[in-house]
Chain A
Amino acid sequence: MRLTLKVWRQKNGSTKGQFETYQVDANEHMSFLEMLDVLNQQLVEEKKVPVTFEHDCREGICGACSLVINGQPHGLSSGTTACQLHMRFFKDGDTITIEPWRAAAFPVLKDLMVDRSAFDRIIQAGGYITINTGAPQDANAVPVNEEISSLSMDAAACIGCGACVAACPNSSAMLFTAAKVSHLGLLPQGKLEVDTRVINMVNQMDKEGFGQCSNTYACEAECPKEISVTNIARLNRMYMKAMVTSSKG
């Protein structure tokens, strides 16, 4: 299939970017990123600078890939990262627009690559259970209800890609933050620090310049791991409770 690609090119964080148009031949068995490999190989052969994009595991788990494809983070397939999107979802003659995540808190570094270190700083603000390496009690000493553990795992499946932020009209990081707050806060091991965790993480989120959540649910719709917005509701409950009852509030 012959495709027309409109790709965002930007030399670095301090210059302005623009769309460039390319033609590329692909086939339906390729992944989307393999199609970009073909484009890059073509550019290198023409002695041009290839398109910079972030990618690594190419199996949907590392969270590196971060492309807005035809206006949708990770493209049209639901529950899929860009690296797992296959070209059989496109047809000959299609024009595809490819952009980086767009959010003030995720500045563009080059072309399609953005800086997501704001997410790391939200985790550093409290996305952990305080336990040093050593000799904790036996893992089976604290039984965890299977349903709770499973809910916790649903939230923990977040890959930290940032599609939620890219999808949100306010560039809010609520789904990302709520997923971590839920993952840890649901477990008995994480309950002790639940108040400080939620307050510190929300404060950091605000400090990084992410917008407010206005319940559009665009994040859930575009999340490649289908993290539920019920986590946001849980975060809100935990946050309210912490603000009312905790001395940290």
Chain B
Amino acid sequence: MKLDGKVPKGLPLADTWTNYRSKMNLVAPNNKRKIDIIVVGTGLAGSSAAASLAEMGYNVKAFTFHDSPRRAHSIAAQGGINAAKNYPNDGDSIYRLFYDTVKGGDYRSREANVHRLAEVSNSIIDQATAQGVPFAREYGGLLANRSFGGVQVSRTFYARGQTGQQLLLGAYSALSKQISTGQVTMYNRHEMLDVVIVDGKARGIIARDLVSGEIQRHSAHAVVLATGGYGNVFYLSTNAMNCNVTAAWKSVRKGAYMANPCYVQIHPTCIPVSGDYQSKLTLMSESLRNDGRIWVPKNADDAKLVREGKKAANDIPEDDRDYYLERRYPAFGNLVPRDVASRAAKVACDGGNGVAPTGLGVFLDFAAAIQRYGKSEAYAKGNHNPSKDEIISLGEAVIEKKYGNLFEMYEKITGDNPYKVPMKIYPAIHYTMGGLWVDYNLETNIPGLFATGECNFSDHGANRLGASALMQGLADGYFVLPYTIGQFLSGDIRTPHIANDSPEFMQAEQEVKNRLEKLISIQGTESVENFHRRLGKIMWGYAGMSRNAEGLNAAIKEIQALRKEFWENVYVPGELNEMNQELEKAMRVADFMEMGEMLAKDALERNESCGGHFREEYRSPEGEAMRNDADFAYVAAWEWNGGDMKMHREDLEFNEIELKTRSYK
């Protein structure tokens, strides 16, 4: 079946959103009061949507499994948020942000969505500033910018290395105000375990109170999912421990389509894995690539000595270093997009030149930047003949101001001082571009079920550019969904309060209870954690940075076998009607084991390399990814169909941008 993205037709792209928004159906204030909306997830996309919808007059029920909306994983985003303000006067524009995002996404996103994202990007900065987000500023008091990968302008706004935290606290403060007025009812420590569909429309959810274990039925006129990505299907990722796919996956099991699940972002600059006990990976912000130079020793022998701890990075002379990104991609150098940088690191390490004890690590070196900044600072202070030590201390002070908290975090984790020795980094799973299929209104194929932020698939194509996740989450939540949801709700103004004791609700509740009881009753011998770890090994081994048909077929078989074993032999301690973290995890891992299979299946069917999806069979002699636009310029939207998965296509039309081979050389 061909899917329709419902992009309004007939107008130039630049006018489409403004025009559509102006002619969209509205819900009058007296009717908004009678309409209930459920928002699940309170990260950037969820908090901003819940607050905005409440401000408009809707009755909002917001859910988070955290103890407070402020803990969502949006909080961990470090580097920044993009906007097309062109404050630095470097030639930026809405069109350029749009173009960079489509190109960065390897021409696999929907043009109209991306253009809209670029259009509203500037309002986000205005909104956040008005909320009191303390963005970095120049001495004159105006906002500061920096650069991120895949672009040649400085359009990234930031609040030190805590941009996600500050933006989330902004959205959280807006949400808190609405909670205080009673317009939002907040359900902390509640996890959504199913979506309820009545007469073909999403009308509520089943949630578990994580403290008491009580299963609850919540009804509304519409349901918005803002529940993040599925990166933890790989077990090790930069995601927080509790990030999971369950809310989205339950919707998939109820008929929603999952689009492009194989598009997973692997972030090039994370702290390498150090042991089997490791529970998660820590990201080092992409902003570091503004000043850090990435390299490995030219000679494999040197690399071996470094791995064994017999040689230090600083002992390797300049001529014996391979700054491989600068060598391979001179135009963008260390600031190539994430997918390109990650693959290049893998190539360097696979060739035997890796530097971490496991062999999987490359250097990120700030020595040159410290020298450069040190000299210019000394000059600015009138010292035209500074000593070596003066240069280093002045240079380190500049680096500390820009990246201090990141350097501190690195040192805490590794025990190394990155001002003195280069960081060691390696790619890790970070973000999922794939997600619930949504149309231009951010509505899934189930009427009344909306998805925003990382939870949907809409804007990043096959690869997301740095500092665009915060932008998309807030664009969806503040400036898109609150309008587009009116298209659905305007047809529902005569629908009275939705009852939560209809047969559909009772049945969904019973199914959730059955599943929970089943998990506890298995009483097998293997922990949930072990199953998750084993799933992660399959996923990373066969469906990680580099994929091929043989491996993906093997992955599908192994996941199916693992799933069978899980349902026969998992051990979940404790009881249903109490706080039970193992039970929570078991529910999530069970869903990851289905999601993982869909991811592998999608990767297998996509016979091309694009963005984060790299198929070994489809690469150029130089090792660059080879896209196939003739056959694969479409969105693959997967229907679970009880495990017998079916793919639905949405063909991508490119009217504004010409499809080209993506080059950063």
Q: Which residues in A have some Cβ–Cβ distance to B below 8 Å?
A: 11-12, 27, 29-31, 33-34, 37-38, 41, 43-45, 47-50, 52, 54-64, 77, 79-80, 84, 86, 88, 109-110, 113, 115-117, 119-120, 123-125, 127-140, 142-146, 149-150, 152-153, 156-157, 159-160, 183-184, 187, 189-190
Contacts and interface: CB of A to CB of B under 8 A. Distances in A.
Contacts of B173: 123, 127-129
| Interface footprint category on B | 35 or more
Given A130-B177, A136-B127, 14 more contacts: A49-B574, A50-B573, A50-B582, A52-B579, A54-B67, A61-B162, A109-B211, A120-B179, A123-B172, A128-B176, A139-B130, A149-B136, A156-B134, A157-B162
Contact of B143 (A133, A140, A190): A140
Given A37-B277, A143-B141, A63 B70 contact: yes
Given A52-B581, A130-B177, A136-B130, A160 B141 contact: no
Q: Which 6 A-B pairs have the closest CB atoms?
A: A143-B141, A128-B173, A136-B130, A139-B129, A124-B180, A153-B134
A60 to B, nearest CB: 7
Contacts of B141: 143-146, 149
Given A84-B409, A119-B68, A133-B127, A47 B176 contact: no
B159 interface: yes
Given A88-B415, A139-B126, A139-B143, A57 B274 contact: no
Interface in B461-493: 478-479, 482
Interface in B27-61: 48, 51-52, 55
Contacts of A131: 127, 130-131, 174
A84 B413 contact: yes
Contacts of A129: 130-132, 173
Interface string B198-211: 00000000000001
Nearest to B141: A143
Given A44-B573, A44-B582, A123-B172, A117 B68 contact: yes
14 contacts: A11-B578, A27-B275, A30-B277, A31-B413, A34-B277, A34-B278, A43-B573, A48-B573, A57-B240, A59-B409, A61-B165, A123-B173, A128-B177, A152-B134
A63 B65 CA distance: 15
B71 interface: yes
B459 to A, nearest CB: 19
B279 A33 contact: yes
A116 B582 CA distance: 22
Contacts of B240: 56-58, 62
A37 B164 CA distance: 27
Interface string B382-408: 000000000000000000000000001
Given A117-B67, A183-B132, A86 B76 contact: no
SS class of chain A's interface: helix, strand, loop or mixed?
loop
Interface string B99-136: 00000000000000000000000010111111110111
A120 B123 CA distance: 27
Given A47-B573, A153-B159, A187-B134, A133 B482 contact: yes
Given A88-B415, A129-B132, A187-B134, A143 B176 contact: no
Nearest to A151: B134
A56 B73 contact: yes
Interface of B: 48, 51-52, 55, 66-73, 75-76, 85, 87, 123, 125-132, 134-143, 159-160, 162, 164-166, 169, 172-174, 176-177, 179-180, 186, 188, 211, 240-242, 274-275, 277-280, 282-283, 408-409, 412-413, 415, 478-479, 482, 527, 529, 571, 573-574, 578-579, 581-582
Contact of A133 (B68, B159, B174): B174
Contacts of B282: 58-59
Contacts of B140: 143, 146
Contacts of A84: 409, 412-413
Contacts of A156: 134, 159, 166, 169
Nearest to B69: A120
Contacts of B571: 44, 47
A183 B134 contact: yes
Nearest to A189: B132
Nearest to A155: B134
A115 B210 CA distance: 12
Contacts of A63: 70-71
A143 B142 contact: yes
Contacts of A138: 126
A108 B482 CA distance: 38
A127 B176 contact: yes
A29 to B, nearest CB: 5
Contact of B66 (A33, A52, A56, A80): A56
A30 B115 CA distance: 45
A149 B129 CA distance: 11
B457 to A, nearest CB: 24
Contacts of A55: 241
Contacts of A86: 412-413, 415
Contacts of B130: 129, 131, 136-137, 139, 189
A188 to B, nearest CB: 10
Contacts of A48: 573
Contact of A44 (B73, B132, B275, B527): B527
A38 B137 contact: no
A190 B129 CA distance: 10
Contacts of A143: 137, 140-142
